[in-house]
Amino acid sequence: MGLQLTSEEQDMLDGKQGKATRKSMEIITTLGEIYGAERLIPISSVQIAGVSYHNLGEAGLEYLDEMADDGRVRTLTTLNPAGMDLIEWKKHGIDEEFAINQQRVIDAFAKMGVITTCTCTPYLIGNLPHYGEHISWAESSAVCFANSVIGARTNREGGPSALAAALTGRTAEYGFHLDNNRIAQVKYEVKAKLRNTDDFGLLGQVIGERTRKKIPYIVGINRATSEELKSFCASIATYGGVALFHMEGITPNRTSIPEETEIVTQEDLIAARSQLDDADAEIDFISIGCPHASIREIAHIAELLENKQVTEGKTVWITTAKPTKDLAIKMGFYDKIEEAGAFLVSDACCAVAPLKGRFKGLMTDSAKACFYARGKNSFKTEIRTIEQCIKEATT
């Protein structure tokens, strides 16, 4: 049948609603044609990735400036982490030239009407779709969380396609927007004990590496907090490119249960941990908040840091969203963390900030952070619980 457009969508494509809308509609319809979509659907939320100037460079910024000329978002839109805390960047050692360029990126998004809070956990700060809503999100951990934990529907968008969705209010109906592509394909029986966010990250690593693009149906987990699920989502998306999973008794989507079954044992988790632990790691950087920390995690860290001091030669970043940081300031958690010598960093994270060459070894509770620390920044890594991370930072 081919891709059918409404008259309004055709007007957008014909340039009757401006240059940026036309360009955006070209991206959306091209994707629709490639993936065999029959129509476009309205979306209620967008999350744009590719925000750090570190990744965008001048070419990316030029594209944004061009789109900001006459492009305006038509739906709730927030951003993925940038390369720095937009306010306190100086004290985190970010250089001025980078800061100026990063701010130019943010200004371009602001001009388009984007809410310029930069976070990979938009669902913790008000960009929270409901079950069944069609959305266009780009950050892999957030995509996985939205599809699986919330039950919203999104493909894993790229930076330009997410922006295009924001500027048109549409996406093409293919992939995870359709029921048929959301059915579980392999069952994973978890026989390992999961205690903390780091364990859930390791489980995501094990299942992600095994399942690759096959949608997992996971059994054997009785309970999981939002923080544990966000860690799991980040990891399974990083190590397997997984954008949707089902977890029996925990996630809300309906699916048939696959027959093909794999077992995940305690030994699998131990092996995954040793894969992320470099024996010769010299830890001088501790980062918690990948994905961005919740207020509950920040409150816990503030308590752990009470009457303690970060050891000389070590740097601690707790990364989070700006609204969460504001709440932490109001609740006194920020003061406790900063008085101990750690930094509560908003809008940025250890993977997209320009940190290469600044540190030797990262300790974190996040399997995803280990992946990027090694790949992008050539840091050695160790994965531990949040409590162990703070202990390492202060003794």
Q: Can you give the binding site for ligand F3S, defined by CB under 6 A?
A: 80-81, 120, 139, 141, 234, 290-292, 319, 349, 351-352, 368-369, 372
Of the two residues 169 and 289, which places its CB atom closer to ligand F3S in the complex? Answer: 289
Of the two residues 25 and 105, which places its CB atom closer to ligand F3S in the complex? Answer: 105
Buried residues in 120-154 as b, exposed as e (16+ CB within 10 A): bbbbbbebebeeebbbbbbbbbbbbbbbbbbbbbb
Query: Residue 139 Cβ, how far from ligand F3S at the closest point, in Å?
Result: 6
Of the two residues 167 and 234, which places its CB atom closer to ligand F3S in the complex? Answer: 234
Of the two residues 43 and 353, which places its CB atom closer to ligand F3S in the complex? Answer: 353
Query: Residue 30 Cβ, how far from ligand F3S at the closest point, in Å?
Result: 27
Query: Residue 361 Cβ, how far from ligand F3S at the closest point, in Å?
Result: 17
> Are the C-beta atoms of residues 346 and 319 closer than 8 Å to each other?
yes
β-strand partners of 262: 188
Query: Residue 289 Cβ, how far from ligand F3S at the closest point, in Å?
Result: 6
Tokens 């809070």 correspond to 117
Task: Please give, one letter per residue, the 3-state secondary structure of 285-347.
Answer: EEEEEEEEECHHHHHHHHHHHCCCCCCCCCEEEEEECHHHHHHHHHCCHHHHHHHCCCEEEEC
Query: Residue 389 Cβ, how far from ligand F3S at the closest point, in Å?
Result: 15
Query: Residue 233 Cβ, how far from ligand F3S at the closest point, in Å?
Result: 9
How far CA 312 is from CA of 94, 121, 309, 342, in Å, comes to 19, 31, 9, 11
User: Which of 123, 204, 170, 124 shows the shortest CA–CA distance to 25?
Assistant: 170
> In sequence order, which residues have a C-beta less than 8 Å from that of residue 43 and are 6 or more positions away?
75, 134, 135, 136, 165, 169, 170, 171
Q: How many helices (H) and strands (E) does the chain have?
A: 14, 15
Query: Residue 297 Cβ, how far from ligand F3S at the closest point, in Å?
Result: 12
CA-to-CA distance for 277 and 318, rounded, in angstroms? 21
The angle, 0 to 180 degrees and rounded to 10, between the axes of the packed helices 386-394 and 295-305 is: 40
Structure tokens at 226: 């939002």
Query: Residue 292 Cβ, how far from ligand F3S at the closest point, in Å?
Result: 6
Of the two residues 224 and 373, which places its CB atom closer to ligand F3S in the complex? Answer: 373
Give the angle 114-140-213 at the CA atoms, nearest 5°. Answer: 145
